[in-house]
Structure 1
């Protein structure tokens, strides 16, 4: 029920950090960052458990915007620690449920018959399969399975390696500045031993290009790594040029192939012309 509905599907509501994360990454304008800072409560401008959305474990959007605005330099370390702690907590929850600890019911059984069915199912799980689950856990698995139990925590990876906000739960389209591919193994994702950090992103007022700071590191001590960087989650952005060691090098493609020497670290600025190509799921090999 839309209590604040004005006309059609429009309604007034309080600010949601996830929505502001997508507004900011659609524009990268400082005024949208300032608006986020004004609307979203101040405690959420730092990585905090209070911001976590139960369903997809994201929610640190205001903190990500603060980082992109240069106001939160320790965000990368904080979000990584948060993700590791989140993983450990989810593991503890799963282990506790196996020992018989209860879980939130969500939607409880409505009738005595449903309660009786739940008791019977819980008893069968114990007697037939040796699962000592609390009734609430058996019911929760029936309702949501792994929705609240997943130990996966992707937000740090999405923020730091793709320069993006998490997709909004319930079918939100994923949008990102970068996507990475392992050129040697010909598969999506970063090559083994390679770390990537997307720094500040902003719109150049003179050219309208998005400029993004990028740090690349090959941690292997004796082997080079081949990396392909794509502009946009679906190759929709053109990588116009890069600034490397003070030299501006033209690219002019949705893909950029980089070779990282052993035990090396490179810092560059990538200039992107956004929304140039039709989005595609095509891969670069």
Structure 2
């Protein structure tokens, strides 16, 4: 390995963002311990979670811990990784006893929810790929879909056989316990009719008739067959396994399955249809209609669920193939809804996800915004709301393509004008602050790190206050309670430290633009006292700053472009000073600042080692290139250094 001289600069003043970043680490460490003690049993299961009377619920017990492994990988303590595994195993036992799992995997449910529950597993696999038990689970779970003998995938028609699949294969309908679909389900009313072509049912109020409610339920059961786009999230299971062992069958399955949906989209003018009959025909169960499938374009969430799963599938296909063409499915989808956009205040719409949009926008909800249709039905496009910003953000983040960047800019420019760019909110997905972060990366919002970290600290404080004041009654507790009070916050830390949007919540893998390793402890994440800030992503260039806040201890950190070894460092530039007088004599009022100097060196290595003396920072630009080998889970074994301090 070539020796690379990394310049560092003394801290004549300490950056506020760095202090806030390390403070956030400290607060989260205290908060997760309080959560575990308050809400979990000694064996790791959740205390007070009631029984289950449907297929729904597995995701809700895994989700409170979904980002705990991510926090460890950023630099959280060894203890949170151990505790996260403990909770995964405890919740798995809990759900097995409840009859919801078979051989540690969900019996069968839709992939909108399965993807949510599996975020916890994917995070653990990425955080500690050397854990043989989780590696074995990754292989076993992937084979539920890649092995035709397990029954979920039909290799002849290249479809996943049902909307509800899992450890017990494809399940019939939506569950034998759910027959009638009545107007009394008030929480479902905003989403409208699940099916638009049931005779006699023209509007929600028609479901007040027991006979029509029964007819709707029966038809929903009958049509819950064949393939639907949210099943594309199953590709993450196969990709996660492939990252361990490079299994050829897993990669081939991902490419073939995604290509099957690409072919169906091509036959529909480029736009992804949302239903495939068991015989492999689009619209075969819906009188030829390309829309109307379960968790599809008509019901319940449209773009939110179809777009998320399609993007996940496209990213996974790109990961294993190196070809970004699979992302055209998402590009066409976004361009289609943008072509039908309107301008109106969210507060004046009947948007089905209006509650979440109002909470995120706050006072800005009354201002005009670019609204896109989320759903398509018998009367065309409908259900207008702000585009899910994570979709164009991830699309650009992955491709770094100018056209994808222009699409993202169009969406951001369509947001309502605001005097409060960093809004104080946090939902279970812990996303939604993409627009101000992108502005920061483009040099338009220098104060974003300080404002965002301050906001994140406030969210930890709020969750802790709720935990301390809200009395939990097991008899009435909502199944989403524990998600709502999870005090581990990682969206902002992930943006700033790794240069990455929050993970796609319905089953995305935990990618990263930059991954760090503590070079002395040989583990993922930043060393103690060190803060990191990715300041720019531009094509193959990544700019970042590392700060050692300790005034007594040196720290060493490895910087690697990409989490899974997709990229290498082709060259690195570092900025420092020439002829500086540091620390200077005691008789001087201040040290003498030197003239700026930049060194650049070719590296062509997986990572670069940065040695930070006490109270020093390093300003780096990484020039990245595609790695020669396949992407893989990266361990933390010690290896020869390729950089030294200067």
TM-score after normalising by structure 2: 0.35
Q: Which structure carries more relative contact order (alpha carbon 8 Å, separation 6+)?
A: 2
Change (3 A) 1:21 1:277: farther
State the distance in 2 between where 1:15 and 1:76 align: 24
Distance, in Å, in 2 between the alignment partners of 1:264 and 1:188 is: 21
Task: Say if 2:521 is the partner of 1:185.
Answer: yes
Is 1:241 matched up with 2:571?
yes
Candidates 477, 485, 497, aligned match of 1:139 = 477
Cα gap change, 1:169 to 1:43, in 2 (>3 Å): farther
**SS of equivalent to 2:387:** coil
In 1, Cα distance between equivalents of 2:607 and 2:513: 12
Contact kept? 1:200, 1:212, Cα under 8 Å: yes
Note closer, same or farther for the CA distance 1:277–1:59 as it changes in structure 2 (3 Å cut): farther
For residue 507 of structure 2, the aligned residue among 165, 168, 171 is 171
1-structure distance, mates of 2:619, 2:547:
9
Are 2:473 and 1:155 equivalent residues in the alignment? Answer: no
Higher strand share: 1
Shift of 1:164: 0.5
Structure 1 counterpart of 2:424, from 34, 49, 56: 49
Shift of 1:284: 3.9
Separation in 2 of the partners of 1:270 and 1:96? 47
- Aligned residue pairs, count: 239
1:228 corresponds in structure 2 to 558
Secondary structure of the residue aligned to 1:243 is strand
How many angstroms does 1:225 deviate by?
0.9
Partners of 1:87 and 1:258 in 2: CA distance: 31
Which residue of structure 1 aligns with residue 468 of structure 2? Answer: 95
Matching of residue 35 in structure 1 with residue 35 in structure 2: no
Is residue 272 from structure 1 mapped to residue 624 from structure 2 by the alignment? yes
Q: Are positions 1:8 and 2:338 aligned together?
A: no
Aligned-partner Cα distance in 2 for 1:173–1:279: 13
Say yes or no: does 1:26 pair with 2:376. Answer: no
Offset at residue 275 of structure 1 (A): 5.8
Q: Which runs of 5+ in 2 are unaligned?
A: 1-193, 197-267, 275-295, 298-336, 338-373, 375-385, 576-597, 638-646
Distance 1:277 1:166 in 2: 26
Counterparts of 2:490 and 2:547, CA distance in 1: 20
Distance 1:17 1:198 in 2: 20
Report SS of the residue matched to 1:230. strand
Match of 1:63 among 420, 429, 436: 436
Q: Which moved more, 1:39-48 or 1:23-32?
A: 39-48
How far is 1:282 from its partner? 2.5
Distance 2:546 2:272 in 1: 49
Give how far 1:30 is off. 5.0
CA RMSD of aligned residues (A): 2.5
Partner of 1:110: none
Q: Is the 8 A contact 1:33 1:66 kept in 2?
A: no
Give the equivalent residue in structure 2 for 1:131.
none
